[in-house]
Structure 1
Amino acid sequence: MKQYRTVTLLTVALLTGSTPVAVAQHAATSATVPGRERLVAIVRSDELMARDWGLGAEDWARYRELMQGPLGVYSPTLDPLTALGIEARSEEERRRYAELQVQAEARRVGKTLAYQRAYDAAWQRLFPGQPRVSLPGATARGASNTGSGRLAVFVKGDCVPCAQRVQQLQAAGTAFDLYMVGSLQDDARIRQWATQAGIDPARVRTRTITLNHDAGRWLSLGLPGDLPAVVREVNGQWQRQ
């Protein structure tokens, strides 16, 4: 193999008029360029993602490290600010990440509400007077629209308050239809969330509690506030409870 490489370098040298040493140096340099370019691209990508969350390079490196450990196994979709806040090394760090998250959430909610207003206007233009959503099973059979229907509960992954609210409803013996936002139509994702939230499988089998994909229903309801959301139909309108 060494002899073949030497012959190749000599051949290139003869064709280009360069010395074998110069050709070898050029080949070695060319081989490292793609690797350097990839490294620069990765570093640049990390810088941009860190900036999106208001974080520095050191914060982002720690987040990457945390997600390689138990935290990433238990909660693989955890956002950087929550991950860093949970694993904060001091009260000052915890307060800083909490403030950054509040600011990020404020921006997100503002954008969501702006889009919701645009969505509402578009619906009125395209389908005036037509109800926007019907939640299968969300109204008890034979119940009137006076607030006696079943509850619809909207949740999302990695949401501790969502799991707590569901546990409260279950402990009270309340029947409800659960809708998971961001489930990506993945049944396994809903089942895993329900297991982690402590939902009794027996109540699911008897349909006292049903598990459903959101499929855009939460956005279609047009209700303010974040998740979890417990809603009920009252006089044809869905209201938070």
Structure 2
Amino acid sequence: MGMRCGLLVALLATIGTAGWAQQQEDVRDSRNIASQARASTEALLDERSARDWGLNGEEWTRYRRIMQGPLGIHSPNLDPLTALGIEARSEEERRRYAELQVRVEARRVEKMLAYQRAYDAAWQRLFPGQPRVSLPGAKAQGAGNTGSGRLAVFVKAECPACDQRVRQMQAAGLVFDLYMVGSRQDDARIRQWATRAGIDPARVRARTITLNHDAGRWLSLGLPGDLPAVVREVNGQWQRQ
């Protein structure tokens, strides 16, 4: 009887050990499957991202490697074409990435301007005659005057030089149309910036200063240099002042 009990215990222990081993094997298999699925998904995303930028798989891998180095640390949000262009290994590569970037930027600006036209039309349908941007106590009159000979000033948030330039222009009594780059079509962002920069609501009411969303206009001008930018249309061409 005792021998049979011992054999039974040993058999149960063997079965338990085998079951535990099988469970561990199943866990490993599940992890391997999940890991393979992640790798496959990442490969598909990389392939799609590379295609969106006009790159092949090798170029995308090189871009990822570049961004793990000093350039990625100094400029973590650098786009693939700029990164590859900066780290180009030959003049031919540099020219290729520059041309690709021009095409990508042209498509992006075209889409932004198309949406801006749709947005402007929607505003006129839904809120005809109502201003799009206004300061507290002011009744601003929407967009600037392209082709009127007025100055256009392009600014962005968190730009002390932009604030200073606009204050100087206002103090000099200049008439200008202000465009905020990166406003995301958010009127509150322009109002907050204009209040901080000391824009006079009376000047806005008189339309000697107008406040507008940039919506890709700055990029569409194709002018060199950083913001702030003061430009004027001369003989059909926009020039920095």
TM-score range, shorter chain: 0.5 to 0.7
Conservation of the 8 A alpha-carbon contact between 2:181 and 2:218: no
Q: Match of 1:218?
A: 214
Q: Match of 1:29?
A: 29
Shift of 1:148: 9.2
Structure 2 Cα separation of the partners of residues 134 and 93 of structure 1: 48
Larger radius of gyration: 2
Structure 1 Cα separation of the partners of residues 219 and 65 of structure 2: 38
Q: Match of 1:154?
A: 155
Give identity over the alignment, percent: 53
Conservation of the 8 A alpha-carbon contact between 2:109 and 2:219: no
Q: Match of 1:175?
A: 168
Q: Match of 1:11?
A: 16
Conservation of the 8 A alpha-carbon contact between 1:152 and 1:231: yes
Mark the runs of 5 or more structure 1 residues left unpaired by the alignment: 1-6, 15-19, 137-144, 185-204, 208-214, 233-238
Shift of 1:106: 1.4
Counterpart amino acid of 1:219?
Answer: A
Shift of 1:70: 1.8
Structure 2 Cα separation of the partners of residues 180 and 148 of structure 1: 16
Counterpart amino acid of 2:214?
Answer: W
Q: Match of 2:208?
A: none
Q: 1:59/1:122 Cα in 2 relative to 1: closer, same or farther (>3 Å)?
A: same
Which structure ranks higher in relative contact order (CA pairs < 8 Å, sequence separation ≥ 6)? 2
Mark the runs of 5 or more structure 2 residues left unpaired by the alignment: 1-11, 137-144, 171-177, 185-195, 199-210, 233-237
**TM-score computed with the length of structure 2 as normaliser:** 0.56
Conservation of the 8 A alpha-carbon contact between 1:116 and 1:222: no
Task: Tell me how many residue pairs correspond in the alignment.
Answer: 180
CA offsets, 1:151-191, max 9 Å, x none? 7432489xxxx9xxx69x97xx982699863489xxxxxxx
Q: 1:51/1:223 Cα in 2 relative to 1: closer, same or farther (>3 Å)?
A: closer
Counterpart amino acid of 1:121?
Answer: A
SS in 2 for 1:60: helix
Q: Match of 2:141?
A: none
SS in 1 for 2:221: coil
Q: CA RMSD in A?
A: 4.7
